[in-house]
A and B are shown apart, each in its own frame.
Chain A
Amino acid sequence: MLTSDSCLSLHKHGSSMASDSNSSESQRIAQQRLRIIAGHLQKHKDDDSGTIATECKAEANKGTVPRKRQEIMKWNGWGYSDSKFLFNKKGQAEFTGKRYRLSGMVLPSLQDWFENTFGASVNHKSPATPALNASAVPPASLNEAFVEDLKATGIPFSHEAEDRVFRAHGHCLHEIFALREGKKFERVPDMVVWPNCHNDVVKIVELACKHNVCLIPYGGGTSVTSALECPPEETRCIVSLDTSQMNRILWIDEKNLVAHVEAGIIGQDLERLLNESGYCTGHEPDSMEFSSLGGWVATRASGMKKNVYGNIEDLVIHIKVVTPRGVIEKSCQGPRMSTGPDIHHFILGSEGTLGVVTEVTMKIRPIPEYQKYGSVVFPNFEAGVACLREVAKQRCAPASIRLMDNEQFQFGHALKPQVSSIFTNFVEGLKKFYITKFKGFDPHQLVVATLLFEGDRERVLQHEKQVYDIAATFGGLAAGEDNGQRGYILTFVIAYLRDLGMDYYVVAESFETSVPWDRVLDLCRNVKERINRECKERGVQFQPLTSCRVTQTYDAGACVYFYFAFNYRGLADPVHTYERVEHAAREEILANGGSLSHHHGVGKLRKEWMKESISSLGVGMLQSVKDYVDPDNIFGNRNLL
């Protein structure tokens, strides 16, 4: 697996950005030495030596994401081009493609649910513009000197309209809506560069500083905070720095259970590659199919299994960042340090305003021996929240525990594929009868918690019993593995559903917050009510869908995730209406003791509340870091501050 190459990027302590000719000479020598070491390592691979190293460049790109993302991904919607929901000629919903468990299946109850919930109709279509209209894209304004110097480095770049537009947006509703409508773009990146390794990034940042070019790092493009939008007032040439080709695991250290990984790697590749060696990170944000390691670091991401593995800030051991002032690194991999405020915390959540995360050392774990899904039905949301609170109190949360409200429970049911055997159908029916009739649960009140246990088999079963026992004291009834598993599969396809909605006059979005336990119920109720009110006041003609779920539990609170969708027929500017409602919902969240964001970040969408959230002094502290690290605002995406 190891090949010798000049760009071996084993990491290098104390390396500084200013790589004059001397240092590149010493670099060369160092690399030569490392090659020899690597050779040793390879020889001893079968011994108890715990390090596996990989290197950069010449190796063929094994990542999922090609430079031309549009070759496999939608340019105006979520995910892969081959996977989408549609209503077929019989009016039945189906999910195309072969990639997912749900792929190729028919979902018989989705249409009814869709029409009844939104007052929409499969006969009223609002189709998207089929292809990108190149004339809607402003011409690239290139910094010629920069382009010249860049060419000399051999780093690939492009200024084709398609490439530029693809990197001008994330997945906010207004961004996707504009793409579908074929609206004219105000500002998109003028070019895209694809660095291949850390050193490429160093060169690009140097050149950007030299020629005063604005850089916007781009990882998986899954931002939902307008973080990737180009500031319209930016007059310099904007270069989108796409990290997708920096996607290698550079080494795995089995002794310390850490892996050193290039930050452009996307979640699914990282897991797949680690799995090949028997490991995982356990970091599974809902966007993990497309989002990148660097993006997780830059936004303080959270994965669904954080109860076992931790959130991104718990997972990283070391971060390497290229900034206009040089490279930020620590001198060791000590698992915890008392060396003043942790500089990693300037990087975590910096949202691309300080530099580019190029390499990350992160914790890994052996793949768990046993995994088991589960689900519990509660008579109402209050009981469910009380149960989650108790689970958190006893610190016995499974790898994942999520509580969906009644709206989401019903939605989940609408997504059940056609049942193949009569027997399963019969069992389902019995279960439903038992819960609603025998146990007296109101089908319009009941909620469901989905669970995922991991570990060795015995302990999982023990753990499972403990959680179900707690649930029982809150009136919870075990509702089977299938329901649980389906809940998690849906996580990945739900994003595709928004595109289906938009085909039929329905706009949808999600947003999240974190909130102390005692305020969870009040916050959920008030935010939903606020959304309903605002919709009414703003002339939305149909009852909106507001739904929430508690997706993470902590000692002192929980993360709450909201879905919000409405039928926009009859509205002149649905996106504007949507934005006003979301704005009001966020104000309601803040007034009810919720945070500005649990894991999505601030971007440009929520900047206005930063002062309120962290005080103006706090904003000043962040600003002074920005001013020191990036005085010329090279990383000019204007997020956060």
Chain B
Amino acid sequence: ALAAREKKKEEEEEMNYFPDEVIEHVFDFVTSHKDRNAISLVCKSWFKIERYSRQRVFIGNCYAVNPVRLLRRFPCLKSLTLKGKPHFADFNLVPHEWGGFVQPWIEALARSRVGLEELRLKRMVVTDESLELLSRSFSSFKSLVLVSCEGFTTDGLASIAANCRHLRDLDLQENEIDDHRGQWLSCFPDTCTTLVTLNFACLEGETNLVALERLVARSPNLKSLKLNRAVPLDALARLMACAPQIVDLGVGSYENDPDSESYLKLEAAIKKCTSLRSLSGFLEAAPHCLSAFHPICHNLTSLNLSYAAEINGSHLIKLIQHCKKLQRLWILDSIGDKGLVVVASTCKELQELRVFPSDLLGVGNTAVTEEGLVAISAGCPKLHSILYFCQQMTNAALITVAKNCPNFVRFRLCILEPNKPDHLTSQPLDEGFGAIVQACKNLRRLSLSGLLTDQIFLYIGMFATELEMLSIAFAGDTDKGMLYVLNGCKKMRKLEIRDSPFGDTALLADVNKYETMRSLWMSSCEVTLGGCKRLAQKAPWLNVEIIDENDNNRMEQNGHEESQKVDKLYLYRTVVGTRTDAPPFVSIL
């Protein structure tokens, strides 16, 4: 036994040519989560060194682990990222009370006295109590980023403002915040001068403009400022004058007819902002005010006008014509195919494009079509990410796009009418999407739409080797479709399916596949309660959740349980078993 131990020690030492401190220093250069996870698997000693030196931890599903295990493994963590609800929660498919509460995490972190500096949450339920506890528990806390969260009010923001002495980032993106129209901005003490990011664009209520101006004036490091709609044009001019160093600006509201003095002041202030690279907001915007920004457009790398519903296509085009260095563009489809042709000829550096629908009632404005998409693919050689809402598409267009742009990493196409075929040939869009997956060898994310049969899934299984996330809606014919994907896509992490005819056969074919994935969502499909129960039995390391809003206990009352179709199924791997905070309409099998 002694000899065996000696041999093992020798082997371990061979693995480590250098002392631990040196290895740790080398690990400092390894920052991506995937890479750090990989090096922790090399050997026991690397696992140990890595876990004590890990400062940034990413948890993609807050129910896959728990705070106790997190702290046990990474006691020195400084930055935590947590994600809660599944993606389809963004579209109201997940009830508000489903879960994803941050409170237990903050409580545990506070108790353990870990030196938390950064907290990034996505689709989690955050309360004022949580924010208050957060603000009081970590003296070095610097950065709070909340994306698509809900459950808190401006009172919670007041705690953060008042208590976090070294606050650098307060970044609120698309959250649902109850605005108590209080004075949270004035809760930043006069001694707070460290702000780098302040984003409150999603707040609906009034803003204390005086407090805001004073805060901006005493924040020399402020680089990113995103205002809400309650900040009018003259206030904007004053703010920009105090912060000419601004890099990223979210404009609040423009008055419809600013007096010429306000407009001139704004023009003058904008001209001084030579570091400005990113522009967004324009939540209520008078179109002719856009021209005030023309002088700095040639520096812009990012432009988000997707909330500017009142700016029509021609004004957008006038602005974009000046933006030759644009890398990221988020726009409404009111820009039209013509506007996209202008983008294609102007924005040669474009990497990411998102075109959102402006006319959701679909009363026939064919704002953008396959023509716009083809133009972009032809004109923008660096394009790798696209989200495109449109009224119609053809296989021919998609095949052309695939030829022009084989570098797509993210390709999300949403044809607004479900099941719509190729509008010229009336064929399904299998061949078009098939061309995309075949040409784009680095494709990691794909969203499908339009009329699609099992064939597209055959193509995806065959060609989409790097695919990690797939969104399916109103597609496919039989279980074979889903099976092609599960069998073929070795790197699949998140699969979300709605209103497609996939059932128990596909669900149960390869239970172990789900261990390699983060999660699976299926709603309005053909899976039955019996099938889900069988799955849960075979895979105890999965949480199999059935969400049934219609009647809390209907599933138990009915005699024909097993064959009952499940409305919403959400399953995910976990190392901590069934969660205890599920509401009554969620059954965990």
A binds B: no
The interface of chain A, by Cβ under 8 A from chain B, is none
